[in-house]
């Protein structure tokens, strides 16, 4: 019987795995061992995921400060639970990349999760996947894990290697070379960052490239709006692609991937036996009920490298726990919109949420690319007024109308009037130089 048939079966497995991981952490997790003993917490009393609320939440800062202290160090575990298989790095905009350690056991678990993701989202052994993630300075989860996803489904995969040029090895391919590789290898799935995929599809239309083999775009690595996903579908249609499915993945290095069973629906936790999720109130830290929006926290139930208990991912969502209206699976589903808490910034004294702003701008038809910058009105004068600049690239003829529409959208989204500049697309997005568009820049500091 599938675990997805009953919530009671899921809870039973989760409680059993929780007791096991807590006992491992108590013996061999440097960070939690010290924290729990300092706070006088007896983890043997925690028997169920309901009891978990007695443990403190873990903030990202703690992991970033000492990633090694989050790694299980127990000599008497079986070999496959001790051997280091790979290290993935999460990159912040300001800090050094943070390592996330995977043992053989964790790698096998990720293969298992990927197999479930493939089942839920309809990826088959007959698929050919084009990995379109950039080759980066530190090993990036999406790049490494696209391969794991292909292996788990028994599918074929190749990497196009776009990204910032590195003269030493000269491995990165231009957008045009990536398009030629796609024509040659005839993939059924294009796997990449949405803004890059969209630029690639637009270029392919320009070049009249043969993309008829493609049936799906799997997107991950940055948030996308419904308008952005519709735009990807439109491009696929113009290219006479076999189908125009946009599979939007929600996930992170610490979470792994969540899968949609239907386009534009919630995200299933593919392996509830390995991960427990809850939503908490960010101010009080109290656990919220299903359906209430708050900060997402994950507890790893079955990892042996980096292990996180009640770890705040940094995203605001809600959780649904009823049977999925599309596929009937039980277990938790993440319900969007996904917004980021840490991104709140003050502009002209107003607290604004960049995710809401970027989503609003992304929904405007006629903007090819855009970038938002918060800066000082007089760059040399730190006491001058804040300014919200929106740079856009567009080919629309009626520019005055577009500017009016954009101004209104920004005002409605964040209550600040922007200064709008029309620039060349290369000034915003140059794939030869950057792997990803920096959509929001705060250059006041
Ligand atoms: Zn479903």
Count CB neighbours of 318 within 10 A.
19
Question: What order do you get walking across the sheet with 189-192 strand by strand?
Answer: 156-159, 128-131, 189-192, 216-219, 245-248
Centre of ligand 1 to C-alpha 333, Å, is: 8
Centre of ligand 1 to C-alpha 121, Å, is: 9
Centre of ligand 1 to C-alpha 385, Å, is: 49
Centre of ligand 1 to C-alpha 72, Å, is: 34
pLDDT for residue 129 = 98
Centre of ligand 1 to C-alpha 247, Å, is: 13
Where do the domains of the chain lie?
A: 1-340, 345-442
Centre of ligand 1 to C-alpha 360, Å, is: 28
Spell out the per-residue pLDDT of the chain, length 445, in tens: 577 789 999 999 999 999 999 999 999 999 999 999 999 999 999 999 999 999 999 999 899 999 999 999 999 999 999 999 999 998 765 567 899 999 999 999 999 999 999 999 999 999 999 999 988 888 889 999 999 999 999 999 999 998 777 668 889 899 999 999 999 999 999 999 988 899 899 999 999 999 999 999 999 987 788 888 998 999 999 999 999 999 999 988 999 889 999 999 999 999 999 999 999 998 899 999 999 999 999 999 999 999 999 999 989 999 999 999 999 999 999 998 888 765 678 887 777 888 788 888 888 888 888 999 999 888 888 788 889 999 999 988 899 999 999 999 998 888 889 999 999 888 887 655 555 677 888 888 6
Centre of ligand 1 to C-alpha 327, Å, is: 4
pLDDT for residue 345 = 81
Centre of ligand 1 to C-alpha 114, Å, is: 16
Centre of ligand 1 to C-alpha 266, Å, is: 8
Centre of ligand 1 to C-alpha 316, Å, is: 21
Centre of ligand 1 to C-alpha 14, Å, is: 20
Specify the DSSP class assigned to residue 58: B
Centre of ligand 1 to C-alpha 326, Å, is: 5
pLDDT for residue 92 = 62
Centre of ligand 1 to C-alpha 186, Å, is: 29
Centre of ligand 1 to C-alpha 115, Å, is: 15
Centre of ligand 1 to C-alpha 368, Å, is: 33
Centre of ligand 1 to C-alpha 241, Å, is: 25
Highest CATH level, class, for 345-442: alpha beta
User: pTM score, two decimals?
Assistant: 0.84
Element (H, E) at 388: strand 386-394
Q: CA–CA separation, 377 vs 389, rounded Å?
A: 10
Centre of ligand 1 to C-alpha 441, Å, is: 36
In this structure, what are the phi and psi dihedrals at residue 293, rounded to the nearest 5 degrees? -85, 140
Centre of ligand 1 to C-alpha 51, Å, is: 28
Full 3-state SS string of 322-354: CCCCCCCCCCCEEEEEEEECCCCEEECCEEECH
Burial, 31: exposed, middle or buried (Cβ in 10 Å; 0-12, 13-18, 19+)?
A: buried
Centre of ligand 1 to C-alpha 331, Å, is: 10
Centre of ligand 1 to C-alpha 145, Å, is: 22
Centre of ligand 1 to C-alpha 16, Å, is: 25
Q: CA–CA separation, 337 vs 340, rounded Å?
A: 10
Centre of ligand 1 to C-alpha 15, Å, is: 24
Query: Which pair of structure tokens corresponds to residue 442?
Result: 């705060």
Centre of ligand 1 to C-alpha 179, Å, is: 33
Q: CA–CA separation, 147 vs 111, rounded Å?
A: 10
Query: Which pair of structure tokens corresponds to residue 266?
Result: 């919630």
Q: CA–CA separation, 9 vs 4, rounded Å?
A: 8
Specify the DSSP class assigned to residue 174: P
Centre of ligand 1 to C-alpha 319, Å, is: 13
Query: Which pair of structure tokens corresponds to residue 194?
Result: 């949405």
pLDDT for residue 15 = 98
Centre of ligand 1 to C-alpha 10, Å, is: 16
Contact 197, 232 (CB under 8 A): yes
pLDDT for residue 340 = 74
pLDDT for residue 435 = 58
pLDDT for residue 434 = 58
Highest CATH level, class, for 1-340: alpha beta
Centre of ligand 1 to C-alpha 324, Å, is: 5
Give the residue from 262, 264, 250, 276 showing the smallest Cα distance to 329. Answer: 262
Centre of ligand 1 to C-alpha 3, Å, is: 14
């Amino acid at each position: 019987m599938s675990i997805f048939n009953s919530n009671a079966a899921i809870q039973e497995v989760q409680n059993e795995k929780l007791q096991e991981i807590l006992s491992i952490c108590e013996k061999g997790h440097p960070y939690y061992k010290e924290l729990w003993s300092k706070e006088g917490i007896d983890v043997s009393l925690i028997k169920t995921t309901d009891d978990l609320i007695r443990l403190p939440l873990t903030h990202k800062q703690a992991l970033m400060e000492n990633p090694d202290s989050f790694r299980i160090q127990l000599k008497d575990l079986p070999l496959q639970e001790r051997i280091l298989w790979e290290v993935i790095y999460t990159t912040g905009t300001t800090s050094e990349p943070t390592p996330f350690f995977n043992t053989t056991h964790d790698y096998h678990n990720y293969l298992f999760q990927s197999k479930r993701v493939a089942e839920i989202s309809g990826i088959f052994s007959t698929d050919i996947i084009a990995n379109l993630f950039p080759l980066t300075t530190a090993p990036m989860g999406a790049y490494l894990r696209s391969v794991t996803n292909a292996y788990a489904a028994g599918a074929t995969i190749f990497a196009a290697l776009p990204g910032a040029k590195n003269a030493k090895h000269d491995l990165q391919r231009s957008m045009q070379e990536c398009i030629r590789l796609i024509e040659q290898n005839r993939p059924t799935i294009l796997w990449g960052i949405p803004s890059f995929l969209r630029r690639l599809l637009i270029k392919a239309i320009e070049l009249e490239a043969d993309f008829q083999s493609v049936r799906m775009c799997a997107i991950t690595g940055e948030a996308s709006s419904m308008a952005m996903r519709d735009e990807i579908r439109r491009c696929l249609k113009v290219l006479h692609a076999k189908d125009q499915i946009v599979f939007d993945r929600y996930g992170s290095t610490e979470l792994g991937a969540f899968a949609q069973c239907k386009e534009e629906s919630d995200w299933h936790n593919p392996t509830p036996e390995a991960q427990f999720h809850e939503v908490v109130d960010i101010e009080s830290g109290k656990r919220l009920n299903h359906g209430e929006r708050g900060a997402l926290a994950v507890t790893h139930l079955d990892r042996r490298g980096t292990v996180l208990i009640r770890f705040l991912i940094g995203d605001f969502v809600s959780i649904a726990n009823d049977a999925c209206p599309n596929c009937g699976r039980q277990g938790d589903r993440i319900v969007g919109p996904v917004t980021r808490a840490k991104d709140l910034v003050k502009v002209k004294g107003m607290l604004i949420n960049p995710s809401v702003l970027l989503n609003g701008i992304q929904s405007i038809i006629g903007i090819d690319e855009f970038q938002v910058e918060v800066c000082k009105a007089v760059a040399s004068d730190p006491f001058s007024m804040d300014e919200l600049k929106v740079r856009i690239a567009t080919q629309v003829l009626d520019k005055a109308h577009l500017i009016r529409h954009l101004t209104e959208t920004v005002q409605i989204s964040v209550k600040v009037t922007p200064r709008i500049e029309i620039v060349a697309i290369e000034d915003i997005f140059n794939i030869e130089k950057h792997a990803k568009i920096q959509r929001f820049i705060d250059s006041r500091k």
